[in-house]
Amino acid sequence: MKYLKVPRKQGEKIRRELIHAGLFDANYPILSEGGFVLFPVSGSFGGFETVGREAEKRPIHHEKLEDALSGILSPAELESLIGSFDLIGDIAIIEIPDALEPREKEIGGALLSVHKNLRTVLRKLSPMEGEFRVRRVKCIAGEDRTTALYKESGVVMELDVAKVYFSVRLSHERTRIASLVRPGERILALFAGVGPFPLVIAKTHKDAEIVAIELNPDAVAAMEKNIVRNKAKNVKAVLGDARREVLAHYPGWADRVLMPLPKGAHDFLDAAFAGAKDGGIVHFYTFAGMKSPFEEAIAKAEYAAKASGVKVEAASQRIVRPYSPQTVQVVLDLIVRKNVT
Q: H-type helices in the chain, by residue range? A: 11-21, 65-68, 75-80, 104-114, 171-180, 196-204, 217-229, 242-249, 269-275, 293-308
> Looking at residue 212, what is its pLDDT?
98
337 Cβ partners below 8 Å, 6+ apart? Answer: 278, 279, 310, 311, 312, 313
> Looking at residue 114, what is its pLDDT?
87
HSE at residue 174, side-chain half, CA atoms within 13 A, is 23
For residue 194, give the nearest of 230, 225, 152 by alpha carbon: 225
Q: Using an 8 Å Cβ cutoff, are 192 and 223 in contact?
A: yes
Distance CA 3, CA 146 (A): 40
pLDDT tens digits for 122-135?
999 998 888 888 99
Is there a single domain that holds both residue 223 and residue 81?
no
Q: Is 151 domain-assigned?
A: no
Q: Is 155 domain-assigned?
A: no
Q: Parallel, antiparallel, or unpaired for β 209-214 and 186-190?
A: parallel
pLDDT tens digits for 19-32?
878 888 877 889 98
HSE at residue 325, side-chain half, CA atoms within 13 A, is 0
- If one counts the domains in the chain, the total is 3
pLDDT tens digits for 12-22?
888 888 887 88
Q: Is 57 domain-assigned?
A: no
The list of the chain residues with pLDDT below 50 reads: none
Is there a single domain that holds both residue 126 and residue 166?
no
Is there a single domain that holds both residue 194 and residue 173?
yes
Domain span holding position 21: 2-52
Distance CA 166, CA 108 (A): 22
> Looking at residue 164, what is its pLDDT?
97
For residue 22, give the nearest of 72, 96, 92 by alpha carbon: 72
Is there a single domain that holds both residue 254 and residue 105?
no
> Looking at residue 26, what is its pLDDT?
78
> Helices 196-204 & 217-229, crossing angle to 10 degrees?
20
Is there a single domain that holds both residue 190 and residue 309?
yes
Is there a single domain that holds both residue 209 and residue 256?
yes
Averaged pLDDT score across all residues of the chain: 92
What CATH number does residue 230 fall under? 3.40.50.150
> Looking at residue 341, what is its pLDDT?
61
What CATH number does residue 35 fall under? 3.30.70.2580
Is there a single domain that holds both residue 254 and residue 110?
no
> Looking at residue 62, what is its pLDDT?
59
What CATH number does residue 138 fall under? 3.30.300.110
